[in-house]
């Protein structure tokens, strides 16, 4: 009887957590690209995650701001899966370490080292701050900006030349 219990426990333990391979497949199907391919997930879902098993098929939204959102509303978890830049045949190739190379034909409106105005807000309020771009970006790209060389970078979306906006806030 002890042997039967020992054999059944690993199977029961596996049923308590979400199958991460299934999540990888759902994201790849939703965005139309495999892991590491242009427009696809940069890497598989982190295998250290122990998400409660979803009784229904988890939903996948996106791509939004360079990521797909996988969530299980019935259990209450949600994860963000970063995607490589671009999508389809015209997408940029993915360089090592998940950094997407920018295609040459895109018009870069922000260059590394440029001063930019960081905006955040909605219809009720707005906040702005002078920042410095850490990387090049075209309109719609998400880039890192920071206040000075020692400060922590902030991700912001390029709106126009010299202007970036924090994603997630409503438009002005």
Q: Write the burial class of residue 154 (CB in 10 Å: 0-12 exposed, 13-18 middle, 19+ buried).
A: middle
In angstroms, rounded to a whole number, what is the distance separating the alpha carbons of residues 146 and 163?
Answer: 13
Residues 104-133 have pLDDT tens digits of 546 889 999 999 999 888 777 788 899 999
User: Is the per-residue pLDDT at 86 higher than 60?
Assistant: no
% pLDDT > 70, the chain: 77
Residue 146 has pLDDT above 90, yes or no: yes
The reply to whether the predicted model has a pTM over 0.85 is no
Q: Which residue has the higher pLDDT, 41 or 12?
A: 41
Residues 107, 141: contact at Cβ < 8 Å? no
Q: Residues 52-85: pLDDT tens digits?
A: 999 988 888 877 778 888 989 888 888 988 888 7
How many angstroms separate the most distant Cα atoms in the chain?
71
Query: Average pLDDT over the chain, rounded to whole?
Result: 78
């Amino acid at each position: 009887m002890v042997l039967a219990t020992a054999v059944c426990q690993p199977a029961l333990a596996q049923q308590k957590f979400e199958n991460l391979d299934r999540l990888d497949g759902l994201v790849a199907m939703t965005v139309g690209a495999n892991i590491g391919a242009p427009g696809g997930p940069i890497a598989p879902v982190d295998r250290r995650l122990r998400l409660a098993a979803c009784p229904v098929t988890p939903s996948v939204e996106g791509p939004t701001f360079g990521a797909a959102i996988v969530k299980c509303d019935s259990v209450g978890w949600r994860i963000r899966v970063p995607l490589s830049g671009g999508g389809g045949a015209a997408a940029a190739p993915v360089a090592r370490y998940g950094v997407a190379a920018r295609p040459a034909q895109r018009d870069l409106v922000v260059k590394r080292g440029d001063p930019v105005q960081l905006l955040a807000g909605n219809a009720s309020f707005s906040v702005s701050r002078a920042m410095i771009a850490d990387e090049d970006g075209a309109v719609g790209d998400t880039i890192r900006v920071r206040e000075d060389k020692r400060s922590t970078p902030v991700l912001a979306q390029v709106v126009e030349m010299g202007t970036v906006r924090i994603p997630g806030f409503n438009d002005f």
